[in-house]
Amino acid sequence: MQKIPLNLATAEMVLARDIFKNDSPTGMPICGKGTELSDSLISRLQQMGVQSLYVEGHPVWQEGDRGLTEQLADLEKRFSKTMDNRYNTTLLEVYRTHFTAAMGDDGGRTEE
């Protein structure tokens, strides 16, 4: 899941969270989680003044973003002092699975 500003949203991205009116959790829900974006939906959201939204995977890359491989390497470095603790190795596994899933099916950055 990734939070992106609306101007970077493109058709076929899938909403990872509901969109609320005025970006407020107490506002009315406009569009539900799981909805696939289309050009017309995006322009409607623009008209409603929606600023940002949550989409599945990690479709937008910017300077300084870390790909899955780098993220997993960082993760392992953070756990390097406690690999002899079985609870920590369990937690490492949980995090490894989570990071991999969160970056989407393609496993993150595609090389150019």
Partner 1 sequence: MDERRSDLKKIIMDTKTLPTLPGVINKLNSLSNDDKSSVQEMARIVSADQVLSARILRLANSPSYGFYRVSTISNAMILLGVNVVKSLALSSSIFEIMEKNSVGLWEHSLGTATAAGIIARKLALPEVEEITTAGLLHDIGKVIIGLKCAEQMPLIRNKIKLDDLYISDAERAVLDTDHAEVGGWLSKSWFLPDKLSEPIACHHNVACSEDHRVKTSVVHLADVLIKASGFGDSGDSYVPPIQQLAWDQLKLDEALLQEIVVELEDKLVEVKNFSLELASAAVA
Write out the residues near partner 1 by the rule CB under 8 A: 1-5, 7-8, 22-26, 51-52, 54, 60, 62-64, 74-75, 77-82, 85, 87-88, 90-95, 97-98, 102
The nearer residue to partner 1, 16 or 41, going by C-beta atoms, is 16
The nearer residue to partner 1, 14 or 102, going by C-beta atoms, is 102
Using the structure block, give the residue that is written with the tokens 């596994």.
Answer: 93
Minimum distance from CB of 25 to partner 1 (Å)?
A: 6
Q: Are 100 and 68 in contact (CB under 8 A)?
A: yes
Count CA within 13 A, CB hemisphere, residue 92: 18
Minimum distance from CB of 94 to partner 1 (Å)?
A: 5
Residue 12 gets the label, from left (phi > 0), alpha (psi -120 to 50) or beta, of left
